[in-house]
Structure 1
Amino acid sequence: MNEEFILALDELEKDKNIDKDVILDALEKALVKSYQKNYDNAENVDVMVDKQTGDIEVFALREVVDDVNDNINEISLKEAKEEVDSNLEIGDIARIKIAPKNFGRVAAQTARNIVIQKIRDAQRDSVYGEYLDRENEMITGTIQRQDNYNLYVNLDKIEGIVPLKEQVISEEYIPNERMKFLIKDVKNSSKEPQIILSRSSENLVTRLFELEVPEITEGVIEIYSIARESGSRTKIAVFSNDEAIDPVGACIGYKGARVNSIVDELQNEKIDIINYNKDIEEFISNALSPADIIEVLINEKNKQSLVVVNDQQLSLAIGKEGQNARLAARLTGWKIDIKSKEDFDKMTNEEIDEILGLNQDSQEVMLDKDLLENPEDISDQMVEKDEQIIENASDEFSNQELEDVTSETLNEIYENDEDSLKNQIDVDENQLDEVYNDESDLIPHREGDQEDEDQ
């Protein structure tokens, strides 16, 4: 090799951003392997490439010893001092310059291969870095071919892959046709980066709306959530940060131009654009569009809802094979049960509570319409609660302990939940009566109870 080789490396460093030192280091290591392979030699060698001239030097590496037992890898101290370096000592490594026959030809071929490989590596890393920064972006590509599993797309610099799970079953992919894809993932490999594309992702619809609706890019309109069953239907919830701009109308566009452009790109997939509302009942009603909703009952604690619709609207609200309700649930993040008005009117409060996930163990106090109409029922329930607590309190003591019971003790018991008052002491009915009668003046009373006694 010569200076022209070094100049070529300088050009590569400038144009391809490939470090010259990296190439030379890789070349030196490769030349060591080439020497050992082509010359069938077991000796240790080192190869150096001059960074200025491109000259190559090969050195045999031998350990300095007193007595030589291995002529290939060892050298005597006397010989090392005389022929190599007078400063060498026992245990040092002597570097003996050698000139293998025809090694220049081997070196040239090796250098060529190394440079080609490093150029490929640099291009691979460059493409990987470029597309890694574009994950979750939309890109336009040209359909190349399709096999049983993957769709292959020409992205100019590299080939993208659309796995079967990222394809849309109802779509037809025609060679040389240009389509838009979402960059789903970027994977590096020894050969070239793998650019995983998607046609089924919800984010592809988001990117299409950002492309067609400038107000979204500007931040005036925002996409709250999106739910998609690719190839069939998508629901998208939007809201406006400017009261003067209708978010749904802006997304639809003049005479439907904006949304129709998206529908065309998705090969006639249906798109429902709805208003997001902070009021969850209203949001759920909107999400079930185009059905008309009578009433929405909710349980915010576990995000469950019961939706009531007219009998004629039931099938529309549920949708074909449950699709409308399914997408609405995903869009809102709530579980949605839909009942017709006729079925709802036949339901008991217990059945409604079960659908909403409400039960007797709930810490929330739920007052139904019957209790509100009959307040005395609430008072009766509270009295029954007090009597149960008193019974449980009596279980805490044996006959020998009753004399030591104080009002402070009973007050403490009264304030605790009855489920925590359990023990192994058996008290018969006479003992319970005795506790209740003898200590009644110690039992704390609610104000309502005291008024009843005074009367």
Structure 2
Amino acid sequence: MKSDFIVALTQLAAERGLPREIVLSAIEAALVSAYRKDSITAGQNVSVKLDPGSGDVTVYILKTVVEEVTDHQIEITLADAQKIDPTAEMGGTVVTESMPHTPGRIAAQTAKQVVMQRLREAEREIVFMEYEDKEGEVFSVNIQRVEPKQVIVDLGRAEAVLPISEQVAAERYRSGSKMKVLLKTVERSGKGPELIVSRADTQLLRRLFEMEVPEVFSGAVEIDSIAREPGSRSKVAVRATQDGVDPVGSCVGLRGVRIQNIVNELHGEKIDVVEWNKEAAIFLANALSPAQVMKVELNIDDQTAKAIVPERQLSLAIGKEGQNVRLAARLTGWKIDIKGNVEYEAELAERAVNEAEAIATGAVAVEEPPVVEEVEAVAEEAVATEAVEAEPAVAKVEEAVAEEAKAEVEVVPVAEEAPVVEQPVVVAEVKSEPKPAPVRQPVAPAERSASLRDVPEAIWSVRRARRSSPDANEPGQIRFAEDIAGLRGGVTASRRGRRRDDPDAVPAATAQPEAPKRKTKAGKKRR
């Protein structure tokens, strides 16, 4: 039959989840502390032996072997020690005597406190040893309580802390809800092992891919790098380690089932899975997805890249507040500059113009002196040649001018025969018309081509012409430009300047009768 002590020991070990040996050693340490504070054994070196079968406790007093004893309670000479134990040596310990297990009330209270303390220490040590090798693993936890600066979660055998630095700003934590966390660190502290879990670490996303994608777990698909902004968006670069495996398709799954499970676990965080490539330009273009990249220019020395995208996808490539290009830069390790194709073409054109100007400026600066001299020499030769060639031309021009002058001299007397002073009759007839611009009748081609030289001599006999109206102007006065035009018109002008009953007038078949004249109340004439 088991003693009450054994029953209590077994129950305590089961409640604490500790081995019986650890609980038994804790009780022995507690009894030692209790006897040291007892009045009988005060100041002595005490050892306790506990029988787990019967529960009997035996207390021994230990002394140290020395050459000369200074304290008889804790020291003994070598000769006396060898009497008790022949194998005793200098500096060793010898059990001198035993005493009955009769502790007092104070010793019992002390033993209880020591037992509880030792059990707690044992629990902490076991927890630390259990989770020490599990850093970086994912655990499904329950939220126990939410505090202002941290969230306490239950890992099963221990409590873990989710600090505010490892939380996702877009998530809301409620007591009793479940979620998956990453065990980030396990540290010792005065209060025991301190377990820190995270929801914002990039390794959480990697572990979730390993849990949801068998190809990633087996190693057929390898995750090369991850760039994450917790709660908003992440980019994952994957590559296949086996032929015939589609890395992106394996991670996304049929109709996106696999990636959707990860998105749901992260409460709607967007995840872009891109294919890794050893060519930096191709990898950069893939990292900027979903935008389509037209061209990538690399500067290996500075680790910078310039990506050219269509103008309509410029905002898509940059992302909201630059998020897409920022994640792509972190994913690839390159500094990325996004340019639209219109701006890029304008820069190329400007660069080409600047280069052309620089080349032209350099060429002119080198060739300018000889060119100037050559131009001056050629100019002097051209002037001399033109001067030589211009001499016969000048002579010909002078001869032509002389002939024209002679012709003009011959024509002048004919023009003087025309009695220009006698033309006021024509002016008066034109003035009698109420409108300044009378309607002209069509003139025959022969009349149109007529000139003053072809007009009959009778047209110049204007001395017998009469004034058509009493208010005609004085002789020799010309008022309108039509008067001169009428003179140049030949027969038509002479028809308008003469009366019908003039026997010397030139007959005109196209003459029109004059319209009757009448006066209005205002005294104006109308046709």
Q: Secondary structure at the match of 1:168?
A: coil
Q: For the residues of structure 1 that align with 2:238 and 2:314, how far apart are their CA atoms?
A: 25
Cα distance in 2 for partners of 1:70, 1:223 equals 70
Match of 2:139 in 1: 139
Instruction: Map residues 54-73 of structure 1 onto 2, 5 A cutoff.
Output: 54-59=56-61, 61=63
Distance 1:182 1:88 in 2: 56
Q: Does 1:167 align with 2:167?
A: yes
Q: Relative to 1, partners in 2 of residues 1:17 and 1:75: Cα closer, same or farther, differing over 3 Å?
A: closer
CA contact (8 A) 1:43 1:60 kept: no
CA gap 1:34/1:314 in 2 versus in 1, 3 angstroms: same
Residues 208 and 121 of structure 1, relative CA distance in 2, 3 Å threshold: same
The offset of 1:74, in angstroms, is 7.7
Tell me how far 1:331 sits from its aligned partner: 0.7
SS in 1 for 2:207: helix
Q: Deviation per CA, 1:398-437, whole angstroms, max 9, x where unpaired? A: xxxxxxxxxxxxxxxxxxxxxxxxxxxxxxxxxxxxxxxx
Identity %, equivalent residues: 41
Deviations 1:75-111 (A, max 9, x none): 9999x79x98999999998865474894276666666
Q: Which moved more, 1:275-284 or 1:202-211?
A: 202-211
Q: Tell me the equivalent position of 2:463.
A: none
CA positional deviation for 1:302? 4.1
> Residues 197 and 64 (structure 1 numbering): CA distance in 2 closer, same or farther, change over 3 Å?
closer
2:272 aligned counterpart, secondary structure: strand
Give the SS at the match of 1:296: strand
Taking the aligned partners of 2:114 and 2:258, their CA distance within structure 1 comes to 53
SS in 2 for 1:196: strand
CA separation in 2, counterparts of 1:259 and 1:90? 73
Residue type of the partner of 1:285?
Answer: A
Whether the aligned pair in 2 keeps the contact of 1:275 and 1:283 (CA below 8 Å) is yes
Instruction: Kindly indicate whether the alpha-carbon contact (under 8 Å) linking 1:60 and 1:98 is maintained by their aligned counterparts in 2.
Output: no
Q: Over residues 5-64 of structure 1, what are the superposed CA-to-partner deviations in whole Å (9 max), with x where a residue is unaligned?
A: 5898799999977484x7676656554543343429763333242658743224274888
- 1:290-439 to 2 correspondences below 5 Å: 290-347=290-347
Residue 308 (structure 1) shift: 1.9
SS across alignment from 1:237: strand
Contact 2:35 2:42 in 1 (8 A): no
User: Residues 50 and 337 from structure 1, CA distance in 2 versus in 1: closer, same or farther, beyond 3 angstroms?
Assistant: same
What displacement does 1:129 show? 2.6
Amino acid of the structure 2 residue aligned with 1:223: I
| Residue 153 of structure 1, CA deviation | 1.3
Match of residue 423 from structure 1: none
Aligned counterparts of 2:216 and 2:125: Cα–Cα separation in 1: 34
Q: Which has the higher Rg, Structure 1 or Structure 2?
A: 2
In structure 2, relative to structure 1, the CA distance for the partners of 1:207 and 1:349 (3 Å cut) is farther
Alignment-mate amino acid for residue 146 of structure 1? V
Indicate conservation of the 8 Å contact 1:65/1:91, yes or no: no
Secondary structure of 2:37's aligned partner: helix
Whole-angstrom distance in 1 between the partners of 2:243 and 2:77: 93
Matched-pair contact (CA < 8 Å) for 2:277–2:283: yes
1:253, CA displacement in angstroms?
2.0
Equivalent residues in 2 for 1:10-89, closer than 5 Å: 18=19, 20=21, 30-39=30-39, 43-49=43-49, 54-59=56-61, 61=63
Kindly state the Cα deviation for residue 151 of structure 1 after the two structures are TM-superposed.
1.0
Task: For 1:218-237, list aligned pairs within 5 A.
Answer: 218-237=218-237
Supply the distance in 1 between the matched residues of 2:4 and 2:140 (Cα, whole angstroms).
Answer: 42
- Whole-angstrom distance in 1 between the partners of 2:288 and 2:89: 89
C-alpha change, 1:9 and 1:322, in structure 2 (3 Å) is: same
Question: What amino acid is the match of 1:161?
Answer: V
SS in 2 for 1:148: coil
Map 1:80-229; keep pairs closer than 5 Å.
Answer: 97=97, 99=99, 102-103=102-103, 116-189=116-189, 191-229=191-229
In 2, the alpha carbon distance for the partners of 1:119 and 1:63 equals 34
Aligned length: 350
Counterparts in 2 of 1:232 and 1:65: CA distance versus 1, 3 Å = closer
Q: Which residue of 1 aligns with 2:239?
A: 239
SS at match of 1:293: coil
How far apart, in 1, do the equivalents of 2:100 and 2:290 lie? 85
Is contact 1:32-1:45 (8 Å) kept? no
Which residue identity does 1:141 align to in structure 2?
Answer: V
Q: Which residue of 1 aligns with 2:277?
A: 277
Q: What 5-or-longer segments of structure 2 have no aligned partner? A: 364-527
The alignment partner of 2:206 has SS state of: helix
Name the counterpart of 1:432: none
CA distance in 1, matches of 2:128, 2:89: 50
Partner amino acid, structure 1, of 2:303: K
Q: Report deviation, 1:235.
A: 0.6
Match of 2:268 in 1: 268
Contact 2:144 2:152 in 1 (8 A): yes
Q: Secondary structure at the match of 1:274?
A: strand
Distance 2:137 2:90 in 1: 64
Q: Which amino acid aligns with 2:332?
A: T
Change in Cα spacing, 1:217 to 1:58, as seen in structure 2 (3 Å) is: closer
Q: Do 2:26 and 2:119's aligned partners in 1 also have CA atoms closer than 8 Å?
A: no
For 1:257 and 1:89, the matched residues in 2 are separated by 75
Once the 2 structures are TM-superposed, how far is the Cα of residue 281 of structure 1 from its aligned partner?
0.3
Distance 1:256 1:161 in 2: 33
Cα offsets for 1:142-177 (capped at 9, x unmatched): 122111111111222222211111100001112211
Q: Is the 8 A contact 2:13 2:23 kept in 1?
A: no
Whole-angstrom distance in 2 between the partners of 1:87 and 1:170: 73
Q: Is the 8 A contact 2:131 2:186 kept in 1?
A: yes
Match of 1:252 in 2: 252
Q: Which position in structure 1 is the counterpart of 2:412? A: none
CA distance in 1, matches of 2:327, 2:268: 18
Deviation at 1:340, TM superposition (A): 2.5
Once the 2 structures are TM-superposed, how far is the Cα of residue 256 of structure 1 from its aligned partner? 2.0
Q: What secondary structure, in the 3-state scheme, does the structure 2 residue paired with 1:173 have? A: coil
Q: Deviations over 1:221-261 (max 9, x none)?
A: 22121100001100111223445443222222222222222
Deviation for aligned residue 1:188:
3.3
Deviations along 1:277-320, one digit per CA (max 9) or x if unpaired, are 11110110110112221211112344221222233322221211
Deviation of the 1:124 alpha carbon: 3.0
**TM-score for both structures, normalised by structure 2:** 0.55
Offset at residue 126 of structure 1 (A)? 3.2
